[in-house]
Amino acid sequence: MTQKLLVTGGAGFIGANFIRLALQEGRAVVNLDALTYAGNLENLEDVAKHPDYTFIKGDIAEREVVTQAMEGADAVVNFAAESHVDRSIDNPDIFLRTNVMGTQVLLDEARHRKLGRFLQVSTDEVYGSLGETGKFREDSALAPNSPYSASKTGADLLVRAYHKTYGLATLTTRCSNNYGPLQFPEKLIPLMVTNAVEGKELPVYGDGKNVRDWIHVEDHCRALLLVLDKGRDGEIYNIGGAAEWQNIDLVRAIIRIVGASEEQIRFVKDRPGHDRRYAIDSSKIEDELGFQRTYDFETGLAQTVAWYREHQTWWEQVKSGAYRDYYAKMYGERPDAGGDL
Ligand code: NAD
Ligand code: DAU
């Protein structure tokens, strides 16, 4: 029988890529998304009329719509979240409401229904920051440093509690930084690519030597389906890209691919509480579930830059309107970073 997934936050970057893959694999999907600034139904235009796809506009923190959306579902995959660290520094409240309270509403509805599987899509940021060596393992201490990562950690602990206390069949994945098509251009890679194309400044925080581990969004989505199908109840699985890059080196690589100028780089005030380095030990998901990445970072980055070049109308629309006001607030106060995208 066709597996029916309730996917929350499916109109965002990773959720939209995941829904496309799940439908391709013959699964049915109900997408519950509040369509915040980050949710864009255009991301799913090509599957909107698919017979196994249904969209419901709604907030995961509101019980009534969650009850309706979970009807008949075999499993939940929870992507819905406020996802941007800088925004969480400005306005933590909404991060707690959606990421913590919203997850609790979903968990509670799932427990009442004795749902088969609840997959919480979490992040490596729950582990905090690394020094120059070492990698995050599933049993590394939780040490979140931003309101965003604290809210994701809170959600992870609720997932754990619902498994231990009520026996809910939960799974938690903690992934590193994603890149690829459809990422909102407030995040490092699409921001730098689109600004480089437009000849604008490239705002690098602090000394630019913070390190992130990059994974292609399709590899992340494949890993999520693998965990959903084969993961053990109550377990946590790290997912990494094995591609550690200092931000400044990454920005220079993007400049080279786009054919922009290094003179566009602008070092700006650092992000408060800025985590220095992330690196993931993915051996558990590789050894237990046989996960293998399909992208190497250089190829994936070049393809991603090409995607943004081919979809200029998409990001120009995204970069207009409300996002413009947000950007002006973020960067406008840094006089040398410019107030425009
Ligand atoms: P995104 O910001 O692109 O998308 C978030 C989606 O959630 C949007 O469609 C938005 O409309 C929806 N949403 C927000 N609040 C909601 C609410 N209250 N009810 C229903 N829908 C709501 O985020 P993303 O980058 O696609 O991340 C998806 C998930 O993956 C998040 O949980 C994030 O913490 C996690 N994650 C992201 C990354 C990354 O690098 N982007 C890495 C690891 C984990
Ligand atoms: O590690 C997983 C996390 O990756 C996810 O949980 C988050 O949802 C996702 O947003 C991402 O968080 P980061 O904070 O690492 O991503 P961001 O793209 O905001 O920043 C990446 C790095 O680039 C970080 O060191 C900050 C830096 N940066 C970012 C922006 C937006 C800049 O130097 N300049 C910028 O303008």
How many angstroms separate the alpha carbon of residue 30 from the centre of ligand 2? 29
Catalytic residue of the set 124, 156, 186, 244: 124
Q: Are strands 211-216 and 244-246 parallel, antiparallel or unpaired?
A: antiparallel
- Give CA–CA dist 57/8, Å, rounded: 10
Asked whether 181 lines ligand 1 (CB < 6 A), one says no
Pick from 305, 125, 130: which is nearest to 210 by CA? 130
- Give CA–CA dist 213/226, Å, rounded: 21
Instruction: Give the burial string for 80-119 (b: 16+ CB within 10 Å, else e).
Output: bbbbbbbbbbeebeebbebbbbbbbbbbbbbbeeebebbb
Number of domain units in the chain: 1
- Give CA–CA dist 103/67, Å, rounded: 13
According to DSSP, residue 278 is labeled -
Pick from 184, 201, 193, 197: which is nearest to 317 by CA? 184
Ligand 2 atom at shortest distance from the alpha carbon of 175? 2
Looking at ligand 2, which residue's alpha carbon is closest to its atom 23?
188
Residue 201 lies in a domain: yes
| CATH number of the domain encompassing residue 245 | 3.40.50.720
pLDDT of residue 323: 55
Residue 318 lies in a domain: yes
pLDDT of residue 341: 35
Structure tokens at 38: 């980050």
pLDDT of residue 339: 32
Cα 108 to the chain's mean position, in Å? 23
Catalytic residue of the set 33, 53, 109, 148: 148
Residue 341 lies in a domain: no
According to DSSP, residue 232 is labeled P
Q: Is 333 one of the catalytic residues? A: no
Supply the range of the domain harboring residue 218: 4-331
Asked whether 55 lines ligand 1 (CB < 6 A), one says no
Best substitution site from 79, 127, 237 to test ligand 1's pocket, by max atoms within 8 Å of Cβ?
A: 79
Catalytic residue of the set 33, 125, 156, 218: 125
Structure tokens at 172: 């938690």
Residue 54 lies in a domain: yes
Residue 338 lies in a domain: no
Best substitution site from 13, 86, 239 to test ligand 1's pocket, by max atoms within 8 Å of Cβ?
A: 13
Ligand 1 atom at shortest distance from the alpha carbon of 61? 18
Best substitution site from 83, 100, 216, 236 to test ligand 1's pocket, by max atoms within 8 Å of Cβ?
A: 83
pLDDT of residue 319: 87
Query: Nearest ligand to the C-alpha of residue 221?
Result: 1
Amino acid at the residue 326: Y
Residue by residue, pLDDT tens for the chain (341 residues) are: 899 999 999 999 999 999 999 999 999 999 999 999 999 999 999 999 999 999 999 999 999 999 999 999 999 999 999 999 999 999 999 999 999 999 999 999 999 999 999 999 999 999 999 999 999 999 999 999 999 999 999 999 999 999 999 999 999 999 999 999 999 999 999 999 999 999 999 999 999 999 999 999 999 999 999 999 999 999 999 999 999 999 999 999 999 999 999 999 999 999 999 999 999 999 999 999 999 999 999 999 999 999 999 999 999 989 875 556 666 777 664 333 333 33
Residue 53 lies in a domain: yes
According to DSSP, residue 54 is labeled E
Contact residues for 284 (Cβ-Cβ < 8 A; gap 6+): 137, 138, 237, 238
Q: Is 237 one of the catalytic residues? A: no
How many angstroms separate the alpha carbon of residue 8 from the centre of ligand 1? 9
Residue 307 lies in a domain: yes
Residue 118 lies in a domain: yes
- Give CA–CA dist 215/204, Å, rounded: 20
Q: Give this prediction's pTM.
A: 0.96
Torsion angle of C-alpha atoms 50, 51, 57, 62, degrees rounded to 10: -140
pLDDT of residue 305: 98
User: In terms of DSSP H, where are the helices of the chain?
Assistant: 13-24, 63-70, 85-90, 92-95, 103-113, 147-166, 188-197, 217-230, 247-258, 283-289, 297-310, 312-318, 322-332
Q: Is 45 one of the catalytic residues? A: no
How many angstroms separate the alpha carbon of residue 249 from the centre of ligand 2? 14
- Give CA–CA dist 286/238, Å, rounded: 10
